[in-house]
Amino acid sequence: MTTTAPKAISPVRIDGRRLRSARTRQIIIEAYLLLLRESPQIPTAAAIATRAGYSIRSVFERFPDLHSLRIAATDHAMLQAADSVAERPPHGDRAARLRIHVEMRGRVCEEWLPLWRALNANQGDSVELKARIHQIRELVIRRMEAMYEPELSTLDAVERRQTILAIEALIDFESWARMREFFGQSFEEACAIWILAIDRLLPPTPAVS
Amino acid sequence: MSDTSIKKPMRIDGRRLRSERTKQLIIEAYLALADAFSPRVPTAAEIAEKAGYSVRSVFERFPDILTLQIAAVDYAMAQVTALAPPNELEGDRAMRIRSQVRARAQVCERWLPLWRSLIVNQGNSEELKDRIRGSRERVMGRLEAMYQPELETVAEGERRQLVIALEALTDVESWARMREFFDLSFDEACLAWIQAIDRLLPRSATDP
């Protein structure tokens, strides 16, 4: 009798601890992202701990170093961005697809630019961060290919690649940042520039047979 | 009396010349190291060693590394301007696109590491931010001049949109991605830009 009680309670206790630990981890990641949005300076462990409401020790219990935290924050951001993008699948005529693609890309740039900058500034020799940068670029290209497949399918391999490269350059995070910060464009004005440019870069939409 | 008055200015000139030469060598050492270490800023000790002077000599010419960075950026930008091919504003559309793309590509190829270092290390320096702004404005000015026949066919608003898009397309990092990420050769990358610019630009009255 005395041995059965702890067995029944034990799994519940472990789950509760795990949940709390996962929640703490999540709060630390969010604190890191909030600090990045507030200032381009890379947040210190002390600042992250204060913002999250935990001790520095708690931060380092979840993440052995700030590099691991950066990787976790990037993975979190990639999941969030992928979820948002999945809500707006390619749909409609050329104009509708251009709008869907550009507005979503604009929102992703607006939301994740500080993290993107931190990622690039801190990649150094980190294979993990480089792999994530690579993966993000691949995702952007795949999305672009899905959105404009009707138009891209009319091009030969070389022209298709050149068109993709040009659109990729155009819709880069830093291109968005320049439109907003350097050229003083509003969100809608910046979207209008991308729509105009992508529309010109793409070949005519083939007629539906 | 007359001897001294003749020799004195020559001595001062010689000293000034040597000091200017030292300053120039330090700038060149900084540029070489910034290129090699980009985006990390080289330390004063590394710069001094590369230039063949003492750290003290470096700080006699430049009170801090930021001042040296600014001087190096000014020197690099002067080089870009001096080495730029003459504007082929008179050529036809294809010729102007080719000329602008090759000139821009050469600048990107040569100055990419320094540009990255500048972007990463600008921090709160207004002087460095001014240089970045100035460089972008010069690129925009050149784009507007090169493609004036095409751009003047559209209304002011659309013209501005196209110049912003052209600037994004021909950004230093866009070049870097074509070369490093997509693994294109210099000529292949130029072709990608040529094709894209040709599509972006409207037809001018003189285009066939």
Tens digits of pLDDT across chain B (208 residues): 444 445 555 556 777 888 888 999 999 999 999 888 887 889 999 999 999 999 999 999 999 999 999 999 999 988 888 777 666 677 899 999 999 999 999 999 988 988 888 888 887 889 999 999 999 999 999 999 999 999 999 999 999 999 999 999 999 999 999 999 999 999 999 999 999 999 999 987 777 6
Rounded CA gap, B35 and B87, in Å? 28
Rounded to a whole number of angstroms, the distance from the CA of B134 to the nearest CA of chain A is 11
Last residue of a domain, one of B36, B65, B94: B65
Neighbours of A202 (CB within 10 A): 22
Q: Does any domain span residue B110?
A: yes
Select the residue of A121, A161, A169 nearest B168 (Cβ to Cβ). A169
Please judge whether B173 and A172 are an interchain contact, meaning their C-beta atoms are less than 8 angstroms apart: yes
Instruction: For residue B26, give its domain range.
Output: 1-65
Q: Does any domain span residue B71?
A: no
Same domain? For A34 and A73 the reply is: no
Please judge whether A178 and B120 are an interchain contact, meaning their C-beta atoms are less than 8 angstroms apart: no
Counting the structural domains of chain B, the total is: 2
Last residue of a domain, one of B12, B37, B65: B65
Rounded to a whole number of angstroms, the distance from the CA of B5 to the nearest CA of chain A is 55
Rounded CA gap, A55 and B101, in Å? 54
Interface mutation vs chain B, best among A165, A186, A188, A202, most B CBs within 10 Å: A165
With tokens 């950066």, the residue in question is A70
Same domain? For B94 and B13 the reply is: no
Q: Does any domain span residue B30?
A: yes
Question: Is B185 an interface residue toward A (CB < 8 Å)?
Answer: no
8 Å CB contact between B110 and B97: no
For residue A3, the model assigns a pLDDT of 42
Counting the structural domains of chain A, the total is: 2
**Kind and range of the H or E element at B136?**
helix B126-146
Q: Does any domain span residue B73?
A: no
A vs B, Cβ pairs < 8 A, gives: 77
For residue A11, the model assigns a pLDDT of 55
Please judge whether B168 and A172 are an interchain contact, meaning their C-beta atoms are less than 8 angstroms apart: yes
Same domain? For A21 and A78 the reply is: no
Read off the CATH number of the domain in which A133 is found: 1.10.357.10
Which chain B residues touch A159 with a CB distance below 8 Å? 195
pLDDT digits (tens, 9 = 90+) for B89-143: 778 999 999 999 999 999 999 889 888 888 888 878 899 999 999 999 999 999 9
Last residue of a domain, one of A39, A63, A87: A63
Last residue of a domain, one of A41, A63, A85: A63
Looking from the CA of B1 toward its CB, the CA atoms found within 13 Å total 0
Q: Is this complex's ipTM strictly greater than 0.90?
A: no
Please judge whether B199 and A201 are an interchain contact, meaning their C-beta atoms are less than 8 angstroms apart: yes
Neighbours of B175 (CB within 10 A): 25
For residue B9, the model assigns a pLDDT of 56
Question: Is B122 an interface residue toward A (CB < 8 Å)?
Answer: no
Select the residue of A161, A163, A197 nearest B165 (Cβ to Cβ). A197
Instruction: For residue A75, give its domain range.
Output: 66-209
Please judge whether B181 and A134 are an interchain contact, meaning their C-beta atoms are less than 8 angstroms apart: yes
Please judge whether B196 and A178 are an interchain contact, meaning their C-beta atoms are less than 8 angstroms apart: no
Give 10-residue mean pLDDT values along chain A (209 residues): 47 71 91 88 90 92 91 91 84 94 95 89 84 92 95 96 95 95 95 98 88
Rounded to a whole number of angstroms, the distance from the CA of A64 to the nearest CA of chain B is 25
Q: Does any domain span residue B76?
A: no
Q: Does any domain span residue B206?
A: yes
